[in-house]
Amino acid sequence: MSKEIEDKLDEDFLFYLGFTTGLVNKFSDGDEFKQCQAWLQKLVGQRHVGTEQKRNRNIYLSQLVLCVEEGKLTGPFLQHPNEVDISNALEVFGPPATEVAEPEWLNEIKRVHPSVLGQGDRRDDGRTYLATRTMPDGQGAFAYLAVTLADDEPRWLGGGEGVLDAMFEQKFAEKCPPRSNLEAALARRKDPEEIKRVIAFYEGIIRNISDELDGVVTTCENKAVNHMIEQLKENLINTGQFGCIESLPEKQQRIELLLKLHERVHARKQMVVKREDALDDLERSLLPQSFFNFSMSAEDQVSFPAAMWQAAINKDPTKKHMTQLQQYYPAKLVDRFVQLLSDEKEEIAVRMQQRHESIVSQMKRELRKEAEKGQKWVDEAKEACDQFYSILLDVRAQREKRDKALEEIEKNRKRGGVTEKTEIYEQMRKALLETQRSVEDEAEFGRQLAAEINVVNAQTEQIQQITNESIMKVEEANMNLMRNIKKLRGAIKQYEARIQTIQRTTQMVLQGKGQKLLLID
């Protein structure tokens, strides 16, 4: 039993959580939006085990859904989620009411006679039953709402479990048949504005490359192109296609890479344009026009005068139409139709006029698209014609040049084969022969000078050899003289020493003789 209660609480939790998907955008205040996100993260992200924890979680989530629907947080949701303990949900929000207040419309039902309701004397309890199932990709939902006025269970359930689900599955398959793979792929297409931005990006890159090739911008200013050039260079190196460009100078290498990048970006742009055109044609042929596509540009909108439907709303139904209505429909329904037709004729006229204008505007838009497509073909044909015409002019110029050359050859043939070119050739040949003879004379004179220079060099070498021998002999004689001078200096020093010795001896002898004479005296 506890497991069944927990499963039911989990189902209720998922049911409440489904209401928070699109209602969070109702907050105008950014702080409240962040606070709501924090509460959702707390209630969804934390693990809750047991019946009490899951019940408290569901109570907080249901109250948060009510705050989200009102677009304003109140009560405990004004505090930070980490500061609030959700285990006391019954104390904060109170126990669930045992009796639900009766709505105002129920009083009107009470005043209806029981025979009209077909319920006899049974008590009217006013219980509601709601069954919903959402459709994929946000296309809407199937919903069924019933109010029972009896004690017993309503009979519309079919008397068995799963009957309602089976009926919903059947209706869902009828209203939403499975899409093919091609339709699913077309449904995942990018937004047209994003495709336009991609094409504009390619055009900007092509324009930047052209500006750099024309010298309008420098390499340093072209940052986006520089990044793509690096990627292209790395790709060429990895695929082995960079060898023929690597040997070129840096400037020529940059030009070749820019040309390759221009070619690849232009091819990529053309491929994107052709692919989008093909997908547009395929989408128009496979997918019907969306019922919710009411967007009309100002040039496609059509307005008709209000007097167009004036006669229609003032005209009564014919006798033939009334007879057919009474034949196929109940009298009360026909009377109600005539009454509504009389009371709401202005509204009917306005709606019919709007519908008429919408249909005509749609036709005008389709015609405009076809005209734009035809104009695009005309522009492409005109561009091809211009290219063909430029090629034709080049061919005509080459033909005229060839005709002039043939006429010149014919004139020369009639003059005997001597033409201005042959005369110029003869003059150039004579000048070449004279130049050749002068060059040969200069070469002969150069050879004579070379022979004389060789003789002078030989004499110079011989004189240098003799001079070197003489210098060596003189240096040898000088060395002998230096040795003799050195010997003479030694002998002179010896003689000087002897002379000094003799002088000292003589002085000593003279002094001795003087002393002897003094003694004698």
Select the highest-mean-pLDDT range: 113-122, 247-256, 296-305, 306-315: 247-256
The predicted structure's pLDDT at residue 291: 40
Q: For the chain, what percent of residues have pLDDT higher than 70?
A: 71
pLDDT above 70: residue 496: yes
Q: What is the mean pLDDT of residues 87-101?
A: 69
pLDDT above 70: residue 240: yes
Tokens of 43: 């209630």
State the CB neighbour count (10 A cutoff) for residue 229: 19
Q: Give 350 or 237, the one with higher predicted confidence.
A: 237
The predicted structure's pLDDT at residue 239: 84
Length of the chain: 521
Q: Give 72 or 107, the one with higher predicted confidence.
A: 72
The predicted structure's pLDDT at residue 116: 42
| Cα torsion angle, 499, 504, 510, 512, sign | negative
The predicted structure's pLDDT at residue 168: 63
Q: Give 2 or 491, the one with higher predicted confidence.
A: 491
Q: What is the mean pLDDT of residues 232-242?
A: 84
What's 147's DSSP letter? E
The predicted structure's pLDDT at residue 335: 84
Tokens of 104: 């105002």
Domain boundaries, the chain: 2-93, 115-178, 183-286, 306-395
The predicted structure's pLDDT at residue 103: 59
Contact criterion met (CB below 8 Å) for 155 and 196: no
The pLDDT mean for the chain works out to 76
Q: What's the CA gap between 41 and 436, in Å, rounded?
A: 100
Q: What is the mean pLDDT of residues 271-298?
A: 67
Q: Give 10 or 120, the one with higher predicted confidence.
A: 10
Residue 287's pLDDT band (boundaries 50, 70, 90)? Answer: low
State CA 417 to chain mean position distance.
Answer: 69
State the CB neighbour count (10 A cutoff) for residue 176: 14
Tens of pLDDT along 424-473?
878 888 888 888 888 888 888 888 888 888 888 888 888 888 888 888 88
Structure-token match 């960079």, residue found: 242
Q: What's the CA gap between 198 and 67, in Å, rounded?
A: 42
Residue 174 carries which side chain, given as an amino acid letter?
E
- 94-103, 402-411, 483-492, 510-519: which has the minimum mean pLDDT? 94-103
Helix pair 223-238, 250-286: axis angle to 10 deg: 90
Residue 294's pLDDT band (boundaries 50, 70, 90)? Answer: very low
The greatest distance separating any two alpha carbons of the chain, rounded to the nearest whole angstrom, comes to 211
Contact criterion met (CB below 8 Å) for 230 and 257: no
Residue 99's pLDDT band (boundaries 50, 70, 90)? Answer: low
The predicted structure's pLDDT at residue 161: 46
Tokens of 498: 């002897």
What CA–CA distances, in Å, run from 371 to 356, 366, 376, 378, 480?
Answer: 22, 9, 8, 10, 123
Residue 307's pLDDT band (boundaries 50, 70, 90)? Answer: low
Q: What is the mean pLDDT of residues 306-327?
A: 76
Tokens of 344: 């709401």
Tokens of 292: 């919710």
Rg (CA), the chain: 58
The predicted structure's pLDDT at residue 337: 81
State the CB neighbour count (10 A cutoff) for residue 120: 8
Residue 69's pLDDT band (boundaries 50, 70, 90)? Answer: confident
Write the DSSP assignment of 108-161 as a string of letters. Answer: HHHTS-HHHHT-TT-----EEEEEEEEPGGG--EEEEEEEE-SSSPPGGG-SST
Q: Which helix (H) or strand (E) holds 273?
A: helix 250-286
Contact criterion met (CB below 8 Å) for 157 and 163: yes
State the CB neighbour count (10 A cutoff) for residue 100: 10
Q: What's the CA gap between 160 and 175, in Å, rounded?
A: 24
pLDDT above 60: residue 153: no
Q: What is the mean pLDDT of residues 107-128?
A: 48
The predicted structure's pLDDT at residue 83: 83
Tens of pLDDT along 352-391?
777 777 788 778 878 888 888 888 888 888 888 888 888 8
The predicted structure's pLDDT at residue 123: 43
Q: What's the CA gap between 56 and 74, in Å, rounded?
A: 18
Four-point Cα dihedral 320, 321, 325, 327, nearest 10? 20
Bridge partners, residue 134, by sequence: 141
Q: How many helices (H) and strands (E) does the chain have?
A: 18, 2
Residue 161 carries which side chain, given as an amino acid letter?
E
Residue 292's pLDDT band (boundaries 50, 70, 90)? Answer: very low
User: What's the per-residue H, E or C state across 420-468?
Assistant: HHHHHHHHHHHHHHHHHHHHHHHHHHHHHHHHHHHHHHHHHHHHHHHHH
Strands 141-148 and 127-134: antiparallel
Residue 154's pLDDT band (boundaries 50, 70, 90)? Answer: very low
Tens of pLDDT along 177-225?
666 666 666 667 777 788 888 888 888 888 888 888 888 888 777 777 8
Q: Which of 114, 63, 106, 120 is nearest to 86 (CA)?
A: 63
The predicted structure's pLDDT at residue 195: 85
Tokens of 378: 């005309």
